[in-house]
Amino acid sequence: MRHNSQPGAGGVSPSPAPSVYGGRREGFRAGELVLFSLATLATMALCVCVGSVSLPLKETLTVIWNTIVGLPVPQGISVPIILSVRLPRVLCVALTGAALSICGGAMQGLLKNPLADGSTLGVSSGAALGAVIAIAFGITLPGIPFAGTMVLAIAFAFLSLLVILSLAHKIDYSMSTNTIILVGVIYSMFVSSILSLIVTFASDHVKQITFWTMGSLLGASMQNALVLFGSLIVFGGIILRYARELNAFAISEDNARNVGVPVRQVKLTLLIAVSALIGVCVSVGGTIGFVGLVTPHMVRMIVGPNHRRLLPASLFGGAIFLMLADLVARILLNPVELPIGVVTSFVGAFLFIVIFYRSRRARL
Amino acid sequence: MTLLDVKHLSVRYGALTIVNDVSFSISEGEWLMIVGPNGAGKSTIVSAISQGTPYTGEVFVQGRNIKSLRARDLAQTIGVLAQSHAMGYGFTVGAVVRLGRYAYSPGLFSGSRDEDEAMVTRALELTGLTRFAEQNVLTLSGGELQRTFLAQIFAQNPRVLLLDEPTNHLDLVYQKQTFELITEWLKTPGRAVVSVVHDLSLAKAYGTRGLLLDGGKTIVCGETGEVFAPEYINHAYSMDVAAWMRRMLAQWQEEGTR
C-alpha cells in the first residue's frame, strides 16, 4: 500500500465529471431527511400513547390531528391527558433532546474532543446555578414569567464555558481532551458546592432546586415547547450554518485557520449559540446529562463524521433518544416516575467509559 | 515580484525571546529554506506568519500587511503545511482535501461549484491520492496522511507555501516524492515556497535561498551557496558539517565500488 505509486502517475481519470467523493453528496439527503423525520414522528406517537394510562394509537392521532386542523375534538377522558399532559411533555422532551444533541455535536467538533458535551464540560451545571440563583433571589424580568430564570441560565452557561475554556487553555496550551474534561469536572464540583450553599440559605426552595439538578420535564407546558422551538430555530440554525467550519475545527483549529476560517469569530459565535441553547434547555427541564454526548456518537456511526450530515441527524437522533429515555423514566417503576436525568446518565456513563477507553487505546 | 516580506519579526513568551528581529523576503519562483539547530525558532516563524502565534514586527504579502487581510484572503495567498496531523475523526480523504476550497466559497451551500470540483480532482491526481478519495483518514499511513494535507493545500491554490518540516517523520521515498511534487508546483509562475527543513542535504539540493538561524537570531540570509558556507553553518551547529556529510557519503561510495 505504501510505496507503490509515484505521485501523479498511475490510473488517474482525466474526466472533469462531477466527482463521487464527498462534495455534492456531503449534505443531508432528502431520503435521509424523510427517514429520520418518520422515525421521530413514530417515536413521538408511541410516547404520547404509552404511559400510566395507555391510550389507543388511532384515538390519540385523531385527537391531535383534529386539534391541529381545527376540527371538533371527540370528547372523552383521554383528551385532556393527550393535549395538556402528554403532548406538551413529549414535545418538550423531543426539542430538548434535539437541542442538547446538536450542541454536543457542535462542541465535539469545535474542540476536537469526542467527550465534549454540556454536562461533561460543566456548562449545564453552570446554567442550573444561574437558574437556581434566579429562583432563590427572586430575580424576574417584567412581563415574561420565566424570563429571569432563562436569562440567568443562558448568561451562566456562557460564563461557565468561558471560564472552563480559558482555565483549560492556561493549564495546557494545547487544550488536550483530558485537560478540558478534568477542568469540567472540577468546575462542576465547584458549582455543586455553591448550589449546596444556596440550598442551605434558601431552604424554602429546596424542592425547586433539586428539580434543576436532577432534570425533569414533568409538567412541561405548550408555552415551554414554543420557547424551545423558537430557540432551536435561531441558535440551532446558527450552528447548522457553521457545519463546514466545524469540519475544519474537527480536523484541528490550526487547519481551520490555514484553510481560511475566521477562527475567533466562528468560535465565539458557536460558543454563544451553544450556551444559549443549553441555557434555554436547562431553564425548562433542568440538567439532563449526557444526551449531547451520547447522541452524536450513535449518529456518527450511521451518517459519518461530516458535520453537514452529523448535525441534522443529531437533531432527530437526540429527539428520539430523549423521548425513549423519558418513556423509560415514566413506565419503568410505574406509578413512581424516575427523573429523566437518571436514565440518560445511566446510559451516558457507560458510553463515556467506552469512548474514553477506545480513545486511550487509539493513542497507544 | 516580492510575494512575502517579513520585517523585524520577533516572538516573545514572557521574558523568553524565541525569535529575535528576523527579516527576509522572497520573490516569485524562489524556495527559501529556513535551517538551524533545534530551538533556533524556525517553526515559530512559520507559526507567526500563519497568524497562529502573536508577534511583533510586520509581515507583508504581495505588498499588503497580513493583519489587514481577511482570513479567507490570507488563505488564498498563503498555504500552511504542518509537520504532523493528529486526526480525531474518520473523515474521508476527499472531505479533507475539499476543505482546501473553503476560502473560495465559504458558507453552507457552496463547495459544489465546478471549479472547486476540478481543483480537488486535480489535487488528488497530483498527489496520487485519487483512489484513496473515499478512504477514512484514520486508516492512512503517516506518509499518506501528509500527502492528503499537501493535496488540501494544492486545492487551496495559494501563492506562497509555508512548510514546517514537511517530511520530518517520513521515510526516504516520501521525502523524495514530496520535495519533487513541490518543485513541480513551484514551476507555475507567481509562486514561492518557504520551508523549515532539518536535513541540510535536502535544503541545499532543493532550495534557492537559505535563512540560517541560531538562538532566534539570523546568522545569514541569502543564496544557498552563501548560507551553507562552512564559516556560518559549522559555527551554528558547532561541528564540521561538510566533513561529517562527506564521511557519511563515503561509506555509500565505498560499497558502490566494491
pLDDT tens readout for residues A9-52: 333 333 333 333 444 457 778 888 999 999 999 999 999 988 87
Mutate to test the interface with B, among A258, A300, A309, A359 (most CBs of B within 10 A): A258
Mutate to test the interface with A, among B13, B43, B44, B102 (most CBs of A within 10 A): B102
Q: Kindly determine whether residue B107 and residue A257, on different chains, have CB atoms separated by under 8 Å.
A: no
Mutate to test the interface with B, among A259, A308, A361 (most CBs of B within 10 A): A259
Is the CB of residue A349 less than 8 Å away from at least one CB of chain B?
A: no
* B3-43 confidence digits (pLDDT tens): 999 999 999 988 888 999 999 999 999 999 999 888 888 88
pLDDT at A266 over 50: yes
Closest by Cα among A180, A195, A198, A213 to A289 = A213
Range of the domain at A164: 82-363
Residues of chain B with pLDDT under 50: 111
What does the pLDDT read at residue A115? Answer: 84
Number of domains in chain A: 1
**What number is the ipTM of this complex?**
0.89
Q: Kindly determine whether residue A11 and residue B131, on different chains, have CB atoms separated by under 8 Å.
A: yes
pLDDT at A344 over 70: yes
Indicate the domain borders of chain B.
Answer: 2-62+159-257
CA B214-B215-B219 angle, 5° bins? 35
Mean pLDDT along residues A82-100: 92
Annotate B143-196 with three-state secondary structure: HHHHHHHHHHHHHHCCCEEEEECCCCCCCHHHHHHHHHHHHHHHCCCCCEEEEE
What does the pLDDT read at residue B109? Answer: 55
Record: fold of B2-62+159-257:
Rossmann fold (3.40.50)
Q: Kindly determine whether residue B126 and residue A1, on different chains, have CB atoms separated by under 8 Å.
A: no
CATH code for the domain in which residue A252 is found:
1.10.3470.10
Count of CB atoms situated within 10 Å of the CB of A360: 11
What does the pLDDT read at residue B257? Answer: 58
pLDDT at A306 over 60: yes
CB-CB contact of B96 with B148 (8 Å): yes
All cell numbers assigned to A209: 432546586
Count of CB atoms situated within 10 Å of the CB of A135: 20
Is residue A77 in some structural domain? no
pLDDT at A248 over 90: yes
In Å, how far is A237's CA from the nearest CA of chain B? Answer: 11
Is residue A40 in some structural domain? no
Q: Kindly determine whether residue B102 and residue A244, on different chains, have CB atoms separated by under 8 Å.
A: yes
Q: Please tell me which residue of chain A has the smallest CA distance to B130.
A: A12
